[in-house]
Every structure is written in C-alpha cells, then in structure tokens.
Amino acid sequence: MTDTAGAGALPAQGMPAADVLDEIRALRDADRPTHGGRLFAYVYDPGVAGLDELAQAAYAQSAHVNGLDPTAFPSLLAMENTLVGAAARLLGGGPGTGAPDVVGSVTSGGTESLLLAVKAARDARPDLAEPRIVAPASAHAAFAKAAHYLRVALDTVPVDPVTLRPDVAAVAAAIRPETVLVVASAPSYAHGVVDPVAEIAAVAAAAGVRCHVDACFGGWALPWLRRLGAPVPPFDFAVAGVTSISVDLHKYAYAPKGVSVLLHRDPALRAPQFFAYADWPGYTMVNPVIASTRSGGPIAAAYATLRHLGEDGYLRLAAATRDAVAGLADAIRATPGLRLMAEPETTVVCFTSDDPGLDLFVLVDELTARGWHTQPQLTYADLPASVHLTVTAAVAPRVAEFGPALAEAVAAARAAGPVVLPPELLALAGSLTPEALTPDLVAGLAGGLGLAGGAGAPERMAVVNTLLDAAPARLRERLLAEFVGLLQRPAW
Ligand SMILES: Cc1ncc(COP(=O)(O)O)c(C=O)c1O
C-alpha cells in the first residue's frame, strides 16, 4: 500500500515541503503543550521571546556538522569547549578555584553523562572482576541502566521517608573493596532534594573511591538560586572528594534537547571515559562519548542559548522559577488532603495525599482534563505515591491560575472517588510473576486498559497507574516494556 498522507510509508512520489510540514504540525497537535507553563515534566520552558528562533537558526547552521572528528570541524570543538568551560565555572571549577584542572565532554543527555561517569569509574579499576557502585535509592534510574549496560553491580542505600535523603553512615557502610563509584544527587529528580554531598564525598574519599554528583537536573539552577540568596548546600567541585559532576543543558540551561555536560575534576579521571580503536582497516577512531557520529545541531543551539541568555538572563529566570515554586507550594499547602513530600528547596514541587478519599492518580487525570499536566510517581518502598512538578520559568505567569484549577480538580477527584480495580486484576497484579506474562495476557490487559490501538496513551491513566502501583517493581518493569512494545509498531 502506498500512502501520501498521514504517517504512512514512504510515498511513491515526494511531497511538497509545505505539505510535509503541515503533516508534522497535525501530528504535533496530539502532543502535550511544550510551551506555556502547564506541563510539569519533560520540557523546560524559559518563556523567553525569540529564544526558540535563535536556537533553531543555530541548530540549522550546524546540523550537518559531525562531532566524530574535532579536527575536521573545529567550530564544534570550539563550541563544546565553551560549553564545558561555562559549566565548569558555574560548578566550582576552573582557574582560580580549588579545581583548576576540570575537563569535560558534551554528551547527548543526562543518561549518557551518567553512563560515562560509571564507565570511567569502572574502567579505572581493571583489576576488579566484579565492580560495584553505591547510590541512594533516590538516584536517577539512569544509574540502574548504567549498571545494567556495563555489568556493574548497583548497591542502593534507602532514603529516609521524612528527609528523603540517605543516611551517610549507611552510604559508608555500603562501600566495599569492589566499589568504584559513589553517587549523590543535587537534587534528586523525584523529590527535588539535595543529598548531603559533602558528607557523601567525604566517605567516598576516605575509601579512595570516586564520587559523582548527579546535577543533571539542578546543576544549572542551584548556582543561580544560591546567588539569589537561597541556602543551597555545597554540592559542586568546591567539595573535596567530588570527582565528577553531570549537568544537563537541555534542562535548566533551556537549550533544545540533546545536550549535557560531564565534568571530571582532572584529565586523569576522565581518561578511562574515552574509547579509541585503531585495529581495523577504517579510520582511526576516538570517541570521548558513546555516540560516534554526532550532529553539531544541539551543541550549536546550546551555545547560542547560553550566549544569548547570559548570567543576567539565567538569574532572572531562576528568580521567576523560585517565585513560581513558592506559589505552587502555597497552593498545595492550602489544599486539605494534600501534603508536600518535602519543603521545596530547588525547582521541584512534589506532593502526596494523606486522605484515602482523594486518589492522587484520579487527581492527576482531573488536572490533565483541565490542561495542567503533572507527573504521577508510584509507591516505592515506604514512600507513598506522589505527584511531581518540574517547575520552569514559564510557569511563573500561570501560577495564580493553578490554585483554582487544583481546587476544582480535587473536588472532581473526591466526587469520582478512588480507583477500584476489579478484584481479579488486583489479584493478578499481586501474584503474577514477570516470567508468567504471556503475549496474550499482555494484549488482553492492554486492551482492557485502553492501551492498545496505537493511539498513544488514553486520556485517563488512573486505572493503569493503580494497576502498576499494585505490582512489584519487576512486574511494573515488564508491564511497561510490554505496553510500550505494543505502541512501537511500524506504520506501514
Ligand atoms: C537527576 C537526573 N539525572 C539524570 C537524568 C536523565 O537525564 P536524560 O533524561 O537527559 O537522559 C534526569 C532526567 O530527568 C535527572 O533528573
């Protein structure tokens, strides 16, 4: 079958450019709104007029440049070095600091930066047959992914249900002779809480182990918040014992997606991150990061974004974000039945419900129905289910509208009542093992939950979230993978 409209296969005859763009525009209509301050996850919107156009123009200039070989494209090397220098300077490194030799690499995102931090730590210890890393349970899931990809064991340290931070003595106790890396977050994604970085780095250093600070989320926000007077604890290279830091420019630096920076305190720490290969008949290859061919587009767009916003711009955006966080937190505090998981200290607002009559997953759907897109987080260990809000500068002008919308959504969620799973489904979630999941069972489940049919997720997700919430982590993982496998099918 040939198809010249919609998301069909390659058309027999090429289409006019304007029609193609119309197609994409029509597809984009189904997406969550990337701009406008009503989507509290996935996107980082500064709400600065003209910034998108600048980033797009810069992206276009360098889209076909290849980061594979910095000698062939010195423009890219120059921009990368500028990004790394800016990140290092912001995070306590560079000339005149206690970490004058900081070096780094530009990666495609936080996950790649964390994978490489783990790889560098692992490959610095070739003597270890079974290397391990230690991370608080609140550390980003990308560390588990890194451990899985790199065959490194992950030792997680529980977080306190009140402070949402790990106990430093427990971190110290988790460090073994095979430990190659200890992790701290600044802040954690789920709750926006900064770990006791100085104490964690100290126990790592005492054991002679690297310490990575995952500042992917907060590394480009905390320094500005501190300059504005917020009591941000030490978390960067000013802390002795911190050996590497990741910071994502596609988060609070407000660059388009595809750019993160991984910094190391000195070149020797970075060396095992690189991969070089000359034992084949093709070009000699040296890759500082995971990708080989890399588009210059995201790097040029990030460069343009940093140069255009400047320090004064980021300070202004941080002040707007701080005020938005305060306003959202006030709205939560003013809502009976809701409770902040932690007093916001960064750019996250995270809340839970103490009231069995107010189902958080239903509330999330009711907020979505009113145009406010929040992120549900499932029950974990002794932490209750919660709702996560990543707050960016574009939220500031919307804050006054959030309180009334929340009140309405809460009233609607109470009226609807909590999700009650059919007993057989609940029993299934509690008893099914991942190994027992058959394709038929998954297809039946997905059909019943409205997840089949290729149209993406259904509008109402409370039932799906309740089912996942009732399942143990391994089963959740299997179900998620199966559901997404059903969505990712070729459009013929
Ligand atoms: C603390 C933290 N680390 C790592 C990541 C992973 O970043 P990415 O999604 O860019 O791979 C995130 C993403 O939200 C994060 O918040």
Residue ranges of alpha helices (H) inside 284-357 are 297-333
In the reported structure, the alpha carbon of residue 158 is separated from the centroid of ligand 1 by a whole-number distance in angstroms of 20
At 272, phi and psi to the nearest 5?
-70, 0
Q: Say how far residue 321 (Cα) sits from the centre of its chain.
A: 18
Cα 443 from Cα 454, distance rounded (Å): 12
Asked if residue 399 lies in contact with residue 362, where contact means CB atoms within 8 angstroms, the answer is: no
d(CA 39, CA 389): 8
Q: Please tell me if the CB atom of residue 195 comes closer than 6 angstroms to any atom of ligand 1.
A: no
The rounded radius of gyration (Å) of the Cα atoms in the chain is 23
Whole-angstrom distance, CA of residue 378 vs CA of residue 361: 9
Q: How far does the centroid of ligand 1 lie from the alpha carbon of residue 224, in Å?
A: 19
Tokens standing for residue 23: 């197609």
Which residues on neighbouring strands pair with residue 103, listed in sequence order?
264
CA-251 nearest atom, ligand 1: 10
Substitution site in 216, 347, 392 for ligand 1 pocket (most atoms within 8 Å of beta carbon): 216
- The model's pTM is 0.96
**142 touches ligand 1 (CB under 6 Å):** yes
Query: What pLDDT shows up at residue 456?
Result: 63
Instruction: Report the separation in Å between the CA atom of 265 and the middle of ligand 1, taken as the mean of its atom positions.
Output: 21
> Looking at residue 11, what is its pLDDT?
95
CB atoms within 10 A of CB 391: 28
Taking CA atoms only, the protein residue closest to ligand 1 atom 8 is 110
Measuring CA to CA, how many Å separate 464 from each of 184, 413, 425? 32, 16, 11
Ligand 1 site, residue 185, Cβ cutoff 6 A: yes
Q: What are phi and psi of 386, to 5 degrees?
A: -150, 175
Query: What values do phi and psi take at 165, rounded to 5?
Result: -115, 155
CA distance 195 to 342: 13
**Whole-number pLDDT of residue 325:** 98
DSSP 8-state class, residue 359: -
Residue the block writes with tokens 């058309």: 11
Q: Is the CB of 309 under 6 A from ligand 1?
A: no
In angstroms, the CA 107 to CA 100 distance is 22
Element (DSSP H or E) covering residue 366: helix 360-369
pLDDT at position 454 = 58
The mean pLDDT values, 10 residues at a time, for the chain of 492 residues are 56 96 96 96 98 98 96 97 98 98 98 99 98 98 98 98 98 98 98 98 98 99 98 98 99 98 98 98 96 98 98 98 98 98 97 97 98 98 98 98 98 97 84 85 82 70 94 93 90 88
